Amino acid sequence: MSNVFCCAIAGSIALTALGIQPIFANTNNESQSQQLSPPSWHPVESVQPANRTELAASEVDFAPYINTYAELVYQNYSDAHRQAMMMQDAIATFLAQPTAETQKAAQDAWIMARQSYLQTEAFRFYEGPIDFVNPETGEEGPEGRINAWPMNEAFIDYVQGKADAGIINNPEMDITIEEILKNDQVTDEADVTTGWHAIEFLLWGQDFNDNGPGQRSFSDFVPNQSNNSDRRREYLTLVTQQLVSDLAFLESEWQPYADNYRAEFVTSDPEAVVSDIFTSLATLSAFEMASERMAVALDSGNQEDEHSCFSDTTHQDFIFNAQGIKNVYFGDYGSYDGQGFNELVAQLNPALEQQISFALSNTEMAVGSINQPFDQVLASPLGSPEREEVEAAITAFEDQADLFRALGPVFGVDVEILAE
């Protein structure tokens, strides 16, 4: 079943990322009811999932839904890889001719490339290619290199009051990808050296503004300057290359008709696979989004706890993570329209399916209503409309996670909320 809102919302959010307000945004900052009123068909009381054996569904064929998921993952990672390469081209153009205009083009390319990647975060939390751990070799998936945060930006480059801070300004350290990776999150997990947010910091610099992103000057990247500009240029080039390489790896692991992770995934025990898929969605909803990315920042009020604090695009992170969850449930991504799990749930427990579809739309509306930039929310007083909007979104993510867990008995599988 097609997710009818997918394309329209994605298009609206793309405009938001470029500073254009989407049609569903709260433009007057007044406290509004952020949760949708249930439609007439929506059950008011909590639905108790029926026993799967009572629905003549003890032999559910999960294969079509698993195959849809695998193809959706592949197409999403393909887009993330392609858009990261476009960002890489924009950064190369910026470094070849550093100006305010080429810097802005590189920043815009970063914002757009993030949109595809953020949706892929719905594929985490079951030790797939993105976040596997091999206990024998110590090898890990690239998630930590790709999207680690929060980060101690002074570990990479100068910050306010510390002009000589960071690897870039340390002449005893070579600027090579080997050296960069060797120093990544060694003694402190905030000592991040790679990934989206390292690139973000280099493009924008620290954000000291309530009404806009960081204001790093393009002059930091003009060649042959006394401010270690050549080392900074090389650092940005190398970490961008590493990000593109990591995304290429993820795309290849989900490519169809290949000897890779996808081939194992689609032929594994289907109930275990479905358990992984919905544990992933529940964990992203309740632990990663509601707790780590929203509640922690709201409680601390610290911009450093924002997910994308340098570019002031944290609101985009919320929106596209929510979209990624919807993509999986409805089996849609872009022009791809497969067999969504919503179709199966509708057969096994129609009332629960209505609740889940309603909850996903409610979350979409809630995150779209959050005031932007997010640092204005963090600076707002307790009980303010801005904070209430985020609290409503937190509740919405928690509610949908509970509903994903309720699918466990319906499918005959375990669905958990993991906490790292």
Checking if the pLDDT of 98 tops 80, the result is: yes
Exposed, middle or buried by CB within 10 Å (0-12, 13-18, 19+), for 222? Answer: middle
Task: Compute the average pLDDT of residues 298-318.
Answer: 93
Q: What is the mean pLDDT of the chain?
A: 89
Tell me: the pLDDT tens digits for 244-288?
999 999 999 999 999 999 999 999 999 999 999 999 999 999 999
Tell me: the pLDDT tens digits for 183-197?
999 999 999 999 999
Checking if the pLDDT of 44 tops 50, the result is: no
Domain boundary assignment for the chain: 6-25+42-146+254-411
Query: According to the model, what pLDDT value does residue 419 have?
Result: 87
Query: According to the model, what pLDDT value does residue 303 have?
Result: 84
Query: According to the model, what pLDDT value does residue 220 have?
Result: 98
Measured distance CA(266)–CA(397) in Å, rounded: 28
Comparison of pLDDT for 211 and 406, the residue scoring more: 406
Query: According to the model, what pLDDT value does residue 56 have?
Result: 44
**% of the chain surpassing 70 pLDDT:** 86
Checking if the pLDDT of 32 tops 90, the result is: no
Which two structure tokens, joined as six digits, stand for 256?
Answer: 């169809």
Nearest to 413 by CA among 268, 297, 208: 268
Work out the pLDDT band at 58, boundaries 50, 70, 90. low
Comparison of pLDDT for 175 and 3, the residue scoring more: 175
Task: Compute the average pLDDT of residues 377-399.
Answer: 96
Query: According to the model, what pLDDT value does residue 302 have?
Result: 87
Query: According to the model, what pLDDT value does residue 59 have?
Result: 76
Phi–psi pair at 34, nearest 5 degrees: -90, -10
Measured distance CA(320)–CA(117) in Å, rounded: 9
Query: According to the model, what pLDDT value does residue 420 have?
Result: 59
* DSSP-derived secondary structure for 110-132: HHHHHHHHHHHGGG-SS-STTT-
CA distances from 262 to 118, 144, 216, 280 (A): 20, 21, 41, 16
CATH fold, domain 6-25+42-146+254-411, is A middle domain of Talin 1 (1.20.1420)
Q: Are 256 and 71 in contact (CB under 8 A)?
A: yes
CA distances from 15 to 12, 19, 83, 235, 326 (A): 5, 6, 16, 30, 20
Phi–psi pair at 178, nearest 5 degrees: -65, -45
Tell me: the pLDDT tens digits for 312-357?
999 999 999 999 999 999 999 999 999 999 999 999 999 999 999 9
Q: Can you tell me whether residue 200 is helix, strand or coil?
A: helix
Task: Compute the average pLDDT of residues 364-382.
Answer: 95
Checking if the pLDDT of 1 tops 90, the result is: no
Query: According to the model, what pLDDT value does residue 356 have?
Result: 99
Measured distance CA(321)–CA(319) in Å, rounded: 6
pTM for the model stands at: 0.87
Q: Can you tell me whether residue 185 is helix, strand or coil?
A: coil
**% of the chain surpassing 90 pLDDT:** 83
